[in-house]
Amino acid sequence: MKPIIMKSLIEICIISISKSMFRFNIILISLFLGMLGCQPSYSQLRAKGFLISDDGTTEGERWASYLFTHLQKRSENKKVILRMRQEENPPQGYFHLHIQVNPELPFDYEIKNGKAALNLSAKDNRTMLWLIYQLIDRIGEANDYIQNEDLPPAYIDFKDQARNFDFSYREPHYQPNTDSDYAGILGTNQLDADWGIWGHNLSKLVEKREASHAKLDGKPMPEQLCFSSPDLLEQTKAYIVDNYGDGGLGHGNHFMLAPEDNAIAFTCEACTAAGNKVGDASAAVFAFLGKISALFPNHQFFTTVYGTVKSPPKGKLPSNVGVLLSTIDLPKGVSFKDAKEFNVFKKKVNTWTLKSSKLYLWDYSMNFDDYLTVQPSLLSMQAQWKDFKALGIKGIFLNASGYDYSSLDDVKTYVAAALMNDVDLPVEQLLRAYLHRFYPKSASILALYLIDQEKQSFQGKGYGMYAGFADIQKTYLLADRFANSYKELEKLLPQVTGLERKKLQKLLLGMGFSKLQLAYQKGLESGGAFEIKNDQVRVKADILKIVEDLRAGFSANGIKMYKEADGDISNYLVAWKSYSGWGQQRNRLTASQVKWIQPGDNNKEALHTCLNGILGFPQDYQQGWFTSNEDIAFEVNFNDLQGTKGMFIRFLVNEKHRFNVPTTIEIHQSGKLINKLKFGLIKEEESPVKEIVIPFQGVDLSKPLLVRIQKASEENKRLAIDELQILH
């Protein structure tokens, strides 16, 4: 995610209009409405040509001209698309399209049918742009002379209707939606276009002055802002005026004003007077929002209920102030039926509903530790959003892979955008329509796999937001179906051309990544990525060929990340290529010789990860590492390994995820402490992997040995180990 969201240089006609600009052309409207009375289906949009008129307003004329221009561009015969002012007596068999933008419309859009006529009304320009492209696609379906193959399939039927979107703010934060033109066609919002400030970035936009710093027990804290500071208010005001103006004439924007992402709650005299408490800065933040929102009534201001913003204000918030609630604690990939977490969330929403009419959600639709394995999310998305709608949620920011590619993100963007408009639309129908349009040759293969995957995941355990591949295998991969689909798509690729080929190539690269991950998980087993040569563990030659093919493919297709944090795909591939050079000896210790004690009695996951003969990758804690928030303890019975001189264990060092070496390792035998090793924390730049040798001096290898590994208590450190290896 970009650290600072500035106003987009590309504006795609999403400027709201002033009520004072709206006026009806009474004669034209009366003439048109006189033709109403029939109720055609969209198949009745089949016509010899189209006649386009407007309501006589500036905006109506603008959008009628837009529709006229874009229909003409999509037709080789320009004479089949006419403007009313160009033709007093339209040819027989032409269909009449009338366009009007009415800011006083009680709905987001309205469609009225007449005899060979259609009246389209929208409340604002964003909606009219979306409505026009829905119409163009339907016209293209009904008439061969209008090209629509490049447009996302329309999902409204153009029967008589007047409705509001289910959510007023709609952003599926996938890579396709970061394209401004495409977002306009989908009718969605964008961080870059709609937010002047996003996240915890206010401090990056104001000067770092002591007058705006928070105080804690009288001491200035430059790492946190003081929301009671007049200086911070003036600086924020100046930033908005200089970059976005006052938001008049429909140019209003969104601004996220939140404290820094840390636990410091400012308690200066003014903040305490406002109502701040230890650990809770809510009162001063909402007081600040009240002041800034009064200065800019045409802009929208938000904060997040997160960190030190915990408590609702005493009174109701101004109409242009809202809050963003996170769904991070809710289950993903399943319905909320019988979910205790949702009952807690519901109470939270009900509390905030009393304070603000603008409740938006920061929702999630991604396994952020794997962008490339195809992940189901659409059925659960629909089920959960129905519940959110019932709670009165007004907007959804759907956090996904953002500016990076994720497998089939185009499909998910389309379906998510449609559901944000109308959460009751049939997911399977949307999915098939999009695949038929953009994956015509491979649609049947993809639909079979995706729909099956969606249903099984939705009825099962769902997915984890930070799940490693071992967990993915247990939840949503469907390994056999995946393997068959991959083979079929790979076989089909030479027959595919154009845009579908480009999309399919990227998808197959993502699936190739998943295939490589499957081989890693199988390790030294049949079908695994590794083999023993000269008593050393090496990557098989055919796997290295796959790695090189993926490297070339990722580079050619601009795929750079495979996960959110530390996800550079080139580093992942380098680990594969360098593995054989690590000099790993075959591990003679087996799971039958180890009894796992902590965490989890006889922990099968720990035994498999630490004794499968494969080392973890340094850049990824999900790749071959057993991770623990607790101390680790296990018992070893060496049996016939009497020549063993010691044991060595590798520890991952990753500061971002709090992994480091232990403070002590103790060796116990027969209830006695035999040896105790002490260690100091190390920096990640010193070594991302630290190998620690445990000598077995004074140890009787005929008896079991207890090993206790104590994690560091500083900053709540964690432990990550891969293979338990023995020295000869």
pLDDT in tens, 492-515: 999 999 999 999 999 999 999 999
- Please determine, for residue 19, whether its predicted confidence score (pLDDT) is greater than 60: no
- Give me the pLDDT at residue 640, please: 67
The structure tokens listed for 698 are 């004074």
Percent of the chain clearing pLDDT 90 (strictly above): 77
Pairwise CA distance, residues 18 & 104, whole Å: 10
- Give me the pLDDT at residue 572, please: 97
The structure tokens listed for 643 are 């020549």
Cα dihedral: 200, 407, 416, 347 (round 10)? -50
Q: Which residues belong to CATH 3.30.379 in the chain?
A: 24-163
- Give me the pLDDT at residue 42, please: 61
* Angle value at C-alpha 571, between 570 and 575, nearest 5 degrees: 115
* Three-state secondary-structure class, residue 595: strand
- Give me the pLDDT at residue 728, please: 67
Lowest mean pLDDT segment, chosen from 242-256, 365-379, 563-577:
242-256
Q: DSSP string spanning 686-712?
A: T-SEEEEEEE-TT--TTS-EEEEEEPP
pLDDT in tens, 578-601: 999 998 989 888 888 999 999 987
Q: DSSP string spanning 501-568?
A: HHHHHHHHHHHHHHHHHHHHHHTTSTT-SEEEETTEEEE-HHHHHHHHHHHHHHHHTT--BSSSSS-B
Q: Which residues belong to CATH 2.60.120.1190 in the chain?
A: 591-727
Pairwise CA distance, residues 251 & 571, whole Å: 44
pLDDT band with cut points at 50, 70 and 90 for residue 100: very high
Give CA 457 to chain center in angstroms: 18
- Please determine, for residue 461, whether its predicted confidence score (pLDDT) is greater than 50: yes
CATH, domain range 591-727: 2.60.120.1190
Strand-pair category, 213-216 with 536-539:
unpaired
- Please determine, for residue 725, whether its predicted confidence score (pLDDT) is greater than 60: yes
- Give me the pLDDT at residue 387, please: 98
Q: What is the mean pLDDT of residues 297-315?
A: 93
- Give me the pLDDT at residue 2, please: 32
pLDDT band with cut points at 50, 70 and 90 for residue 347: very high
Q: What is the mean pLDDT of residues 620-629?
A: 95
CATH, domain range 24-163: 3.30.379
| CATH among 2.60.40, 1.10.357, 3.40.50, 3.20.20 for 169-459 | 3.20.20
* Cα radius of gyration rounded to whole Å, the chain: 30
Among 348, 403, 399, residue whose Cα is nearest residue 377 = 399
- Please determine, for residue 288, whether its predicted confidence score (pLDDT) is greater than 60: yes
Percent of the chain clearing pLDDT 70 (strictly above): 93
Pairwise CA distance, residues 465 & 459, whole Å: 17
Strand-pair category, 94-101 with 81-83:
unpaired
- For 91, which DSSP code? P
Alpha-carbon separation of residue 654 from 391, 617, 624, 688 (angstroms)? 40, 12, 14, 7
Pairwise CA distance, residues 492 & 535, whole Å: 41
Amino acid at 202: L
What phi and psi values does residue 390 have, to the nearest 5 degrees?
-60, -30
Pairwise CA distance, residues 2 & 643, whole Å: 56
pLDDT band with cut points at 50, 70 and 90 for residue 641: low
Lowest mean pLDDT segment, chosen from 18-27, 44-53, 154-163, 660-669:
18-27
- Please determine, for residue 14, whether its predicted confidence score (pLDDT) is greater than 80: no
Pairwise CA distance, residues 315 & 313, whole Å: 6
pLDDT band with cut points at 50, 70 and 90 for residue 11: very low
Pairwise CA distance, residues 546 & 564, whole Å: 23
- Give me the pLDDT at residue 478, please: 92
Q: Which residues belong to CATH 3.20.20 in the chain?
A: 169-459
The answer to whether the beta carbons of residues 614 and 531 sit under 8 Å apart is no
Alpha-carbon separation of residue 720 from 560, 589, 631, 632 (angstroms)? 26, 19, 11, 10
Q: DSSP string spanning 358-412?
A: -EEEEEE---TT-SSS----HHHHHHHHHHHHHTT--EEEEESSTTS--TTHHHH
The structure tokens listed for 362 are 């920061």
Q: DSSP string spanning 404-472?
A: S--TTHHHHHHHHHHHHH-TTS-HHHHHHHHHHHH-TTTHHHHHHHHHHHHHHHHHTT---TT--HHHH
- Give me the pLDDT at residue 216, please: 78
The answer to whether the beta carbons of residues 531 and 538 sit under 8 Å apart is yes
Q: Angle, to 10 degrees, between the axis of helix 443-459 and the axis of helix 427-438?
A: 150
Alpha-carbon separation of residue 686 from 342, 653, 654, 682 (angstroms)? 44, 9, 11, 7
Pairwise CA distance, residues 417 & 134, whole Å: 13
10 Å Cβ neighbour count for 425? 15
- Please determine, for residue 669, whether its predicted confidence score (pLDDT) is greater than 70: yes
- Please determine, for residue 337, whether its predicted confidence score (pLDDT) is greater than 70: yes
Lowest mean pLDDT segment, chosen from 88-97, 143-152, 293-302, 427-436:
88-97
Q: What is the mean pLDDT of residues 453-465?
A: 93
The answer to whether the beta carbons of residues 46 and 118 sit under 8 Å apart is no
Q: For the chain, what is the mean pLDDT?
A: 90
